[in-house]
Amino acid sequence: MRLFRKGISMRTALVVGNWKMNGESAANRVLVAELIESLAQQPLEGVVVGICPPSVYLSSIAEQLNGSSVALGAQTLNEHDSGAYTGEVSAAMLRDVGCSMVIVGHSERRSLYAETDEQVAAKTLAALRSGLMPLVCVGETLAQRESGEALVVVANQLRAALSAVDAEEFERLVVAYEPVWAIGTGKTASPEQAQEVHAHIRAVLSELAGVAGQRVQVLYGGSVNAANAAELFAMPDIDGGLIGGASLKANDFIAICRTAAVAG
């Protein structure tokens, strides 16, 4: 992890839990309470921690998080501000219930719900318009990696998502590199594989937004756990993680967050 001068403050690490479609009220309360208690007892230096529960639980978890340092995010949003979009949730609604961030373009949204690059771009803009921090996900499939296209695929996804974003807005967004073949599979990218892509992402971000692009936090996601987080977070261009399965167990998630603090 590389700390970068940003005005007077340094670029902090970020670790975000993506709960996906898991959890129910009673278990959520316990998980969130454990997280709050652990972070209150032993606060983390230089790491922001966030969780993205299913949208129906956001309001109650926002209440539980009130006064704690844990940030709340959603797993997706609709790109429109309001209207006849049955079943959808807008950026303003997410803000209204206490979210500060939202995952955009997760590979499960892209592959299972046919989310296109154009929608990812529109959702990114919608999040920024409402003051939510978008966590823009990019990543190649196994076939794309094996045919040597990983860097091109990721760069194209990034350009498609961010070309319409003003350079000064880049300070309000985060990028997550999540190789599709590593998500939920137990197969993690090696630190070197991840670093190669992260360095490329940083180059594309600089090309898109100059110095502001350099300051963007770039997270790694894909089977991160308490055992492999340290070597990933030690890489110079990895600024934290987007954590799926391991974010559902308080001890594992906290251990990963603490690893990010040490790596910083």
Q: What values do phi and psi take at 102, rounded to 5?
A: -155, 135
Which residues contact residue 249 at a Cβ distance below 8 angstroms, ignoring those fewer than 6 apart?
Answer: 31
CA atoms within 13 A on the CB side of 100: 14
Candidates 242, 257, 261, 263: give the one binding ligand PGA (CB under 6 A). Answer: 242
Of 151-159, 165-173, 240-248, 252-260, which part binds ligand PGA (CB under 6 A)?
240-248
Cα 175 from Cα 213, distance rounded (Å)? 10
Q: Which is nearer to ligand PGA, 48 or 212 (CB)?
A: 48
Nearest distance, CB of residue 83 and ligand PGA, angstroms: 29
Closest residue to bound ligand PGA by CB: 244
Q: What share of the chain is helix, strand, coil (3-state, %, to 5)?
A: 50, 15, 35
* Residues that contact ligand PGA, how many (by CB under 6 A): 13
76 touches ligand PGA (CB under 6 A): no
Candidates 79, 178, 237, 252: give the one binding ligand PGA (CB under 6 A). Answer: 178
Cα 139 from Cα 162, distance rounded (Å)? 15
Catalytic annotation on 80?
no
Residues 79-138 that bind ligand PGA (CB under 6 A): none
Active-site residue identified among 140, 178, 198, 200: 178
Candidates 223, 233, 237, 253: give the one binding ligand PGA (CB under 6 A). Answer: 223
Candidates 138, 180, 183, 218: give the one binding ligand PGA (CB under 6 A). Answer: 183
Cα 264 from Cα 258, distance rounded (Å)? 10
Candidates 105, 179, 222, 240: give the one binding ligand PGA (CB under 6 A). Answer: 222
Burial of 22: CB neighbours in 10 Å, binned 0-12, 13-18, 19+: middle
Cα 63 from Cα 82, distance rounded (Å)? 25
Contact residues for ligand PGA, defined by CB under 6 A: 18, 178, 183-184, 221-224, 242-246
Residues forming the active site: 106, 178
